Structure 1
Amino acid sequence: MKRRTALAALAAFPAAASLPAFGQTLPKVVFGFTAVTDFASVFVAAEQGFFKKRRLEVELKFIPINSTIPAAVQADSLQIGGPTPSVFLQSVDGGLDHVVVAGGGATSKTITGFGLVAKAGSGIRTAQDCVGKKIGVPGLGAFLHVTFRAWLKTQGVDHKKVSFIEASFPQHGDLLRGGSVDAVVSADPFMSRITDSGAGYVASYYSTFLPENQPTIIHTARREWAEKNPSAVKAFREGVQEGAAFMLQPKNNEAVRAAVGKYIKLPPEVLAKVQISPPSPIVTEKQLNYWVGLMKEQEMLKTEPAVARLIVK
């Protein structure tokens, strides 16, 4: 489905979607998210009551490091979580039987809200300058780590010549100031705070090489839980889709930003200018196959995922 067609379909999403049968009790869902705007459709669905009107109670729980989400889902401390596609595929490759129930944000060439942020005075400006350097990423194997390594390759640089350490977004500024890393692959609002403070500068908005409408975050659950709770999965998916449709209406911009600010704790001055990733609540096999190809190039997968089985229809 082309992006323009998909967005038009979302904009027409009916407010009165199917509801559970009268008296039907749905299980409470604890949903895990990280501090990025790619979760905006979930935040909106929670704040606008799109889950509640489907009789689904969703508790949103902040998770500092994206790569830990599959383990939390497996342990049932989360029923649904939002890993990046690469984190999800690695967890499946490692033996976890998890499935995609919905999607979060997506790539767009209009979004410059993440990039390579170098320490002030480091002189890092190009991919070649990263060779031999230590770079912090908010999750080894997660979206920013994998896409940054893919960008290095497009620039003729072997990512194995760069040292990567895992560090949550809130740590990035302190790591740069303390000299523990030479640069970080970061995202707003943390990226803007770093540059505003003078601790670092944006060396590259490297993401412009990525194709449009590739999922940055996907919402996943254990297959066993999803099969036992199809009504809860449907209610969650429809709530996210309605949240995405709400986001696409310009008149709702203030409410969308308020929802984002509440859950990722943004002050008003940052909230007013932060870029919000476009929603992509429906994940397709073609989209997951793009990530499979990217990860195989980086030798991150030992097996060939059966992508068709990984998405709940």
Structure 2
Amino acid sequence: MHPTLTRRQLIAATAGGLSFPGVLRAQTAVKVAYGYSAVTDYATVFVAAEQGLFAKNGIDIELRFIPINPTIVPAIQSGSLQMGGPTPTAYLQAVSGGMDHVVVGGGGVLSKRFTEVGLVTAAGNSLRTPADCVGRKIGVPGLGALLHITFRQWLKLNGVDQSKVVFVEAPFPQHADLLRGGTVDAVVTAGPFMSRILSSGEGRVAAYYTTFLPEGQPTVLHTATREWAQKNPAAVRGFRNAIGEAAAFMAKPANEAAVRAALGKHLKVPAPVAQAMQISPPGPVVTTAQLQWWGGLMREQGYLKTEPSYAGLIA
């Protein structure tokens, strides 16, 4: 018997659905393997893990780094992940293709003040304008992923035929080496990888192209299969609560050091890099209208096989 609880207390706790630290909570925590990629859009997830907010809300979280974002969706489908953070574009393509996945919450959101996403070229490369991209090889962290689709939209808005640009899929960690070796002319990159390229002097920013997009649109969605979400409603609520609490924690200036420590740990970057990087604004709540906005952008580019029923996509 637990040394601080009487038999009567244990019986009452069990009958009433209550929990005591170290007794019932440990027995009822839902194990969740969550997949993320290397950007600050997952800051609320990192903070919730490090501050014990998942545990507080009945979730035993395991964070797994996934180098190429679009592969998060099939990992959820296969059951190797219970939840993950695909970009809206990767998620909606999967739903359009027949996967029955739902949105539990949101990660980062777009901001015109966020300049850690951009088109970066080697320092001596002549590429400077959208028109200069024609005939060039551009590395993107995932074909059909958010940065790829938004970059194509930027080209379109500037009158460039995207079919005349060669896109090469490459994980973020490879971007510096690809530029250095001349394998690609430029990369669409973000976060600490962009900072490292620029601070080394080996690259320069050709365009902060995402600043043309409207603010507040989600850049990462926390998703699960509908079947898993329906079988684990308490875990869905607990996950939402945890990231909401993490967003509130991040809003307090006194917590900045803890937030950056969480980023450094899970993005596997040195403390000086974590201190210097911009943090994507959190948006834990996702709306149907936001999903429709991304769907419209993708439909223009021919990335949706069928139009999803957006109202049924949020758990």
The TM-score normalised by the length of structure 2 is: 0.91
Asked if residue 181 in structure 1 is aligned to residue 184 in structure 2, the reply is: yes
Contact 1:45–1:242 (CA under 8 A) maintained in structure 2: yes
Whether the aligned pair in 1 keeps the contact of 2:291 and 2:310 (CA below 8 Å) is yes
* 1:302 and 2:292 matched: no
For 1:272-311, what aligned pairs fall within 5 Å after superposition?
A: 272-311=275-314
In 1, distance between residues paired with 2:182 and 2:214? Answer: 34
How far off is 1:294 after superposition?
0.3
Q: Residue in 2 aligned with 1:145?
A: 148
For 2:123 and 2:223, how far apart are their aligned partners in 1? Answer: 38
**In the alignment, what sits opposite 1:54?**
57
Match status 1:262 vs 2:265: yes
Tell me which residue corresponds to 1:159. Answer: 162
Gaps (5+ residues) in structure 2?
A: 1-16
**Are 1:172 and 2:154 matched, yes or no?**
no
Q: Counterparts of 2:286 and 2:45 in 1: how far apart (Å)?
A: 15
Deviation of the 1:95 alpha carbon: 1.2
Q: Which residue of 1 aligns with 2:116?
A: 113
Secondary structure in 2 aligned to 1:193?
Answer: helix
Distance between the aligned counterparts of 1:97 and 1:302, measured in 2?
A: 15
Aligned partners of 2:29, 2:224: CA distance in 1, in Å?
A: 15
Shift of 1:238: 0.6
Q: Which moved more, 1:56-65 or 1:187-196?
A: 187-196
Which residue does the alignment assign to 2:248? 245
Q: How far apart are residue 110 of structure 1 and its match?
A: 0.9
Q: Does the 8 Å contact 2:119/2:188 carry over to 1?
A: yes
Q: Distance in 2 between matches of 1:31 and 1:246?
A: 21
The residue aligned with 1:39 is: 42
Aligned-partner SS, 2:261? helix
What is the distance in 1 between the residues matched to 2:48 and 2:236? 14
Distance 1:101 1:50 in 2: 16
Q: Percent identity?
A: 62
1:311 offset after TM fit, Å? Answer: 0.5
Cα distance in 2, alignment partners of residues 141 and 289 from structure 1? 17
Structure 1 residue aligned with 2:125: 122
Q: CA RMSD in A?
A: 1.1
Deviation, 1:199, is: 2.3
Deviations 1:87-128 (A, max 9, x none): 000011111110000110000111001100012222011100
Matched, 1:228 2:199: no
CA distance, structure 2, for counterparts of residue 67 and residue 49 of structure 1:
28
Q: TM-score, normalised by structure 1?
A: 0.92
C-alpha contact 1:26 1:231 (8 A) present in aligned 2: no
Amino acid at match of 2:60: E
Instruction: Give the 3-state SS of the residue equivalent to 1:146 in structure 2.
Output: helix
Cα displacement (A) at 1:270 = 1.1
Give the distance between the partners of 1:198 and 1:26, measured in 2 at CA: 47
Cα distance in 2 for residues equivalent to 1:152 and 1:215: 21
Given the alignment of the two structures, is residue 208 of structure 1 paired with residue 211 of structure 2, yes or no?
yes
Aligned position for 1:74:
77
